[in-house]
Amino acid sequence: MRIWMVFFSFCMGCGSPILPSTKGADTGDTEADDGWGSTTGSDADADADDGGDDGPAPLENPTIGLASAVCLDGTRAFWKLDVIATDPQGINTLTGEANCDIYPAGATEGMAHHSVSLTCASGDCGQTYDGEEEGVLCNDASNWEFRFTVTDEDGYVSAVEVVTGTAE
């Protein structure tokens, strides 16, 4: 008798381990309940046929793998800015520009001290920059943050990559 009581309690609290759950019931699987999991049956086939957009959009933004801002040896304020990026749509979509906004180190608000556009070819972006007029000098390279973004040809923008300036 105790075994049946335990089984009945289990069925009431967790659902039947034998019977399938009813449509719209909480299955305990949050992915399936939220519509993010895989489904089988006629509903899944109908969504595939009508181009339903129930799932998340594919990743589209480029990503920055490497960024550097180096003040060149023997110069007062001549910088070499470099970025290497990838794009889910393919490396050939990164043929436009990257952007570098220059801020005082630790700045969290306000406008950029200066902005530089970098030329890109297949995800490899670079530009030289003479910071003398703006006061972005080699002797205080670590006092500057270089905030890089890359935009692909479809207009998708990467997350900001922040690099502290270094001197050779």
**pTM of model > 0.85:** no
CA angle, residues 33, 29, 25, in degrees to nearest 5? 50
DSSP state of 142: G
**Is the C-alpha dihedral spanning 135, 138, 142, 147 positive or negative?**
positive
List of domains in the chain: 2-50 (no CATH), 63-167 (2.60.40.10)
Cite the DSSP H helix spans in the chain. Answer: 2-14, 30-33, 42-50
**Residues 36, 47: Cα–Cα separation, whole Å:** 13
pLDDT in tens, the chain (168 residues): 555 454 445 455 555 444 444 444 455 554 444 444 433 444 444 444 444 455 445 578 999 999 999 999 989 999 999 999 999 988 888 877 899 999 999 888 889 999 999 998 888 999 999 999 999 999 999 999 999 999 988 888 999 999 999 998
Quick one: 94 exposed, middle or buried, by C-beta within 10 A (0-12, 13-18, 19+)?
A: buried
Neighbours of 126 (CB within 10 A): 15
